[in-house]
Amino acid sequence: MKLIREEIERVEVLTEESNGKKNLFIKGIFLQSEQVNRNGRLYPGSIMEREVKRYNEQYVQKGRALGELGHPDGPTVNLDRVSHKIVDLCREGNNFVGKAQILSTPMGKIAESLLKDGVTLGVSSRGIGSLTATKEGYKQVGEDFMLATAADIVADPSAPDAFVQGIMEGKEWIWDGGILRERLAENARKQINQLTTQRRLEENKIELFDRFLNSL
């Protein structure tokens, strides 16, 4: 089985108040079925409905439907990269509309800052399964498909690491606190630019973010 990711380019940002505390949410189409998507894949409605039902029962209803900021390499959720918790996922026609709460984790704070600064974010689902080529030219997802997470948060679904630039150039993160923090952010940005391969970038970006966040 292969790791399968699908992207939705835009979600709605909501702010809700509970017990005097304002919480930030994203809401929109997280998953789609019965149509060939831009990656040339089709998810049968029965398979997607089955997996969403399982995901709701095992994860959403138990408060452990977590997602990450960025494009993880595998199907498992990395707790040090968690940015949000999916609180609702239901079917509307061939779409599955979800709602996720932004958490107060380090990655959640980054996502919150991007949203508040007007950055357009999208979501990317992750699952594993087999693909079968059809005579019509698209690939159909097989019965063995398993949904790993309904939504990771991505800044640009077509460029997995585009959110790095948005974070490092965000003035609130860089300038609030003085010259030292500005220098650390600048150094981190230079190091990212020097990472010449996608693999090295993936291996080093979280370490650089942690170093920058620890300086705040």
Rounded Cα–Cα distance for residues 88 and 154 (Å): 19
- Please confirm, yes or no, whether 124 is among the known catalytic residues: yes
> DSSP assignment of 32-60, as one string?
E-SS--TTSEE--HHHHHHHHHHHIIIII
Q: Which of 33, 83, 124, 125 is catalytic?
A: 124
Q: Which residues of 136-158 are buried (b: 16+ CB within 10 A; e: fewer)?
A: eebbbbeeebbbbbbbbbbbbbe
- Please confirm, yes or no, whether 84 is among the known catalytic residues: no
**Kind of pairing, strands 139-141 and 41-42?**
parallel
Q: Which of 46, 71, 84, 125 is catalytic?
A: 71
At 184, give phi and psi (nearest 5°): -65, -40
By annotation, the residues acting in catalysis are 71, 124
